[in-house]
């Protein structure tokens, strides 16, 4: 039998051209209008292409008939119908539930499942053929059977086993429960407090303290809310020998070309030590990944914006020249001012005094516009009218390390909102080794109204008008670890927002003292303090003079959780200095 071939597109074009030429010859005496009219009546080339040289099928199948609903249960209904007919052949049937397509079949029956008990549904079917023609829909209304109260709980999980223990996590596994209707999921408990749910048969508990014993428990529940008895076991995390193992890695050093900035330089200079640039903004505008700029002593009054990006292996660094004091002020004097704004990535800002931002919604350091993998280290951030550091909800992977942050909310005015040392809204942040104090109109650290997977460790926070740390908010706050901190002289050491955290918040291994209300505000079920906190005087060297180093008899000494402790302290002294790392920003 001969094989039919589809015409080549170029051949069709040539044939069409010949036909147009013939028409032009036949109608040339009629003028241009007649020629155009004749050409318009030609069959479109696309019709042949669409049908591929075959006669088009435009006839739809007949509408399915004789619909019958049967087999009704509390959660399913079966629909059957008489097959449709078609001039070529029916390919299949689309199924609809309450007007929404839920599937198709090539047969003449379909069971609609996962329905609610005692509820009416409109079930519909339409036929279609291979050409895409569709019949009309046929529909009927039917109801699932009445709801029957399920009062039988699932069986208790069995064969529990703990594995994969690290210094900060472990995994619990179990044999699946059974239920008369079906198991919907499992609740997980840590030391008697619910910390999560899963539909599987294993769960990893994270954010744990090293070398600590925990009671892990699980129960099963069904869709009716019946809950099995709990099954539990005890297991311990691994030893605390792995210092900082639970912390994200820092940015690597910038090892490329070093440039220089000086108050006596010029931006037309090459940026060398002997011919430096004049402005820090010049450096922010031109530095490439891996390069750094060192800024010589002086006060720089500029509205700085960093929008460039380094890379994970080659960040950009702008730092104060070692041993010299470099002060950053905003140039703007009206509205909300910012000595520096950061929207870039893989960037380090180090060693500056950043101060005196103005405005009721100002910040000394403002991170926004998707800023990520930013390190703020060794800076003194002070005397801002509003926030010390503010990071909006587009930011992530910020590391605030070893900064002295104090006296923000300076010149606060009547009706102004709260002013904090650090205010973060993004996620995956690390705040460590910071010394934060004297925030008379807010919190030391505010984690609100949305943040997740953030670690607050090794900080010393004191003299906050409200509380040292507040967590929670309507945007969702979860997977927050607050560990190894000294929280002193406040309403609460850790306060909850009026909207509780939406997920786990771990608060342990902290020294909390001199609180006016309580160490940790209660009422939020996702806050886990089972790792324990120390509620005694940390014994600062001179609190009135804000010397927050520790006396030799401080209860914070050697008491920090090692995997969550930095390898050095605020003063760059190595940790640990004794049998274990110390709690707070200073190692004794």
- Pair of tokens at residue 286: 């031109």
Tell me the pLDDT of the chain averaged across its residues.
91
Per-residue pLDDT band for 431 (boundaries 50, 70, 90) equals: very high
Which pLDDT tens digit goes with each residue over 477-529? 999 999 999 999 999 999 999 999 999 999 999 999 999 999 999 999 999 99
pLDDT at 362: 98
Answer CATH for 158-236 from 2.60.40.10, 2.40.160.100, 1.10.645.10, 2.60.120.10: 2.60.40.10
The string of DSSP letters for 342-368 reads E--EEEEEES-EEE---STT-EEEEE-
The more confidently predicted of residues 450 and 31 is 450
pLDDT at 240: 67
* Mean pLDDT of the 103-109 span: 96
pLDDT at 23: 38
What pTM was computed for the model? 0.65
Q: Which of 31-35, 250-254, 305-309, 478-482 has the lowest mean pLDDT?
A: 31-35
* Mean pLDDT of the 65-81 span: 95
* Mean pLDDT of the 195-214 span: 90
Which pLDDT tens digit goes with each residue over 377-409? 999 999 999 999 999 999 999 999 999 999 999
pLDDT at 211: 74
Task: Give dist(CA 339, CA 153) in Å, integer.
Answer: 61
* Mean pLDDT of the 45-56 span: 47
Torsion angle of the four alpha carbons 218, 223, 224, 225, in this order, in degrees rounded to the nearest 10 = 30
pLDDT at 34: 32
* Mean pLDDT of the 307-326 span: 98
Q: Which residues of 489-510 are buried (b: 16+ CB within 10 A; e: fewer)?
A: bbbbbbbbbeebbbebbbbbbb
Tell me if 432 sits within 8 A of 569, measured CB to CB: no
Per-residue pLDDT band for 147 (boundaries 50, 70, 90) equals: confident
Instruction: Specify the CATH number of the domain 65-143.
Output: 2.60.40.10
pLDDT at 208: 81
158-236 and 65-143 share a CATH fold: yes
pLDDT at 48: 34
Query: How crowded is the C-beta side of 270, counted as CA atoms within 13 Å?
Result: 6
pLDDT at 74: 87
Phi-psi region at 558: left, alpha or beta (left = phi > 0; alpha = psi -120 to 50): left
Q: Which residues pair with 574 in a beta bridge?
A: 568
The domain spans of the chain are 65-143, 158-236, 253-421, 443-588
Q: Which residues pair with 263 in a beta bridge?
A: none
* Mean pLDDT of the 313-324 span: 98
* Mean pLDDT of the 210-235 span: 94
pLDDT at 20: 45
The more confidently predicted of residues 19 and 157 is 157
pLDDT at 241: 67
pLDDT at 92 over 90: yes
Answer CATH for 253-421 from 3.40.50.2000, 2.160.20.10, 3.40.640.10, 1.10.3210.10: 2.160.20.10
Task: Give dist(CA 354, CA 356) in Å, integer.
Answer: 7
pLDDT at 305: 98
């Amino acid at each position: 039998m001969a094989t039919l071939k589809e015409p080549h597109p170029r051949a069709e074009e040539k044939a069409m051209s010949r036909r147009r030429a013939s028409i032009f010859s036949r109608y040339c005496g009629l003028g241009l209008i007649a020629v155009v009219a004749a050409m318009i009546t030609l069959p479109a080339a696309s019709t042949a292409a669409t049908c591929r040289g075959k006669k088009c099928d435009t006839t739809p199948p007949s509408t399915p008939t004789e619909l019958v609903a049967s087999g009704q249960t509390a959660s399913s209904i079966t629909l059957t119908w008489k097959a449709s007919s078609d001039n070529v052949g029916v390919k299949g049937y689309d199924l609809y539930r309450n007007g929404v397509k839920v599937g198709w079949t090539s047969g003449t029956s379909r069971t609609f499942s996962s329905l609610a008990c005692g509820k009416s549904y409109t079930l519909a079917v339409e036929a279609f053929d291979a050409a895409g023609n569709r019949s009309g829909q046929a529909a009927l209304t039917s109801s699932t059977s009445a709801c029957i109260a399920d009062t039988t709980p699932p069986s208790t999980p069995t064969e529990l086993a703990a594995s994969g223990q690290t210094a900060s996590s472990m995994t619990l596994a179990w044999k699946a429960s059974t239920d008369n209707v079906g198991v919907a999921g499992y609740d997980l408990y840590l030391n008697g407090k619910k910390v999560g749910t899963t539909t599987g048969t294993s769960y990893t508990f994270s954010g744990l303290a090293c070398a600590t014993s925990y009671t892990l428990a699980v129960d099963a529940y069904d869709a009716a809310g019946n809950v099995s008895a709990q099954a539990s076991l005890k297991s311990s995390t691994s030893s605390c020998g792995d210092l900082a193992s639970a912390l994200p890695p820092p940015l690597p050093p910038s090892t490329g070309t070093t440039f220089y900035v000086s108050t006596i330089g010029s931006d037309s200079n090459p940026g060398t030590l002997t011919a430096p640039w004049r402005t820090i903004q010049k450096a922010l505008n031109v530095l490439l990944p891996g390069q750094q700029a060192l800024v010589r002593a002086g006060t720089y009054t500029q509205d700085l914006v960093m929008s460039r990006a380094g890379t994970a292996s080659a960040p950009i660094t702008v730092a104060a020249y070692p041993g010299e004091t470099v002060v950053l002020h905003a140039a703007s004097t009206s509205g909300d001012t910012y000595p520096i704004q950061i929207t870039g990535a893989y960037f380090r800002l180090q060693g500056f005094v950043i101060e005196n931002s103005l405005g009721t919604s100002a910040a000394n350091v403002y991170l926004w516009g998707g800023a990520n993998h930013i390190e703020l280290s060794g800076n003194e951030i002070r005397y801002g009218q509003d926030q010390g550091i503010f990071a909006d909800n587009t930011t992530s992977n910020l590391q605030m390390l070893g900064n002295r942050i104090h006296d923000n909310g300076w010149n606060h005015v009547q009706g102004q909102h709260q002013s904090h040392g650090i205010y973060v809204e993004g996620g995956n942040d690390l705040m460590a080794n910071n010394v934060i104090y004297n925030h008379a109109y807010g919190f030391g650290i505010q984690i609100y109204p949305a943040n997740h997977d953030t670690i607050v460790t090794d900080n010393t926070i004191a003299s906050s008008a409200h509380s040292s740390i507040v967590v929670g908010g309507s945007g969702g706050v979860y997977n927050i670890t607050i560990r190894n901190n000294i929280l002193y002289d406040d309403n609460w050491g850790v306060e909850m927002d009026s909207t509780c955290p939406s997920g786990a918040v771990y608060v342990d291994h902290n020294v909390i003292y001199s609180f006016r209300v309580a160490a940790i505000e209660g009422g939020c079920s996702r806050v886990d303090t089972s790792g324990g906190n120390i509620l005694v005087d940390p014994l600062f060297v001179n609190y009135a003079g804000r010397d927050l180093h520790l006396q030799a008899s401080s209860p914070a000494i050697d008491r920090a959780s090692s995997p969550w402790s930095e390898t050095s302290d605020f003063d760059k002294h190595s940790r640990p200095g004794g049998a274990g790392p110390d709690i707070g920003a200073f190692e004794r």
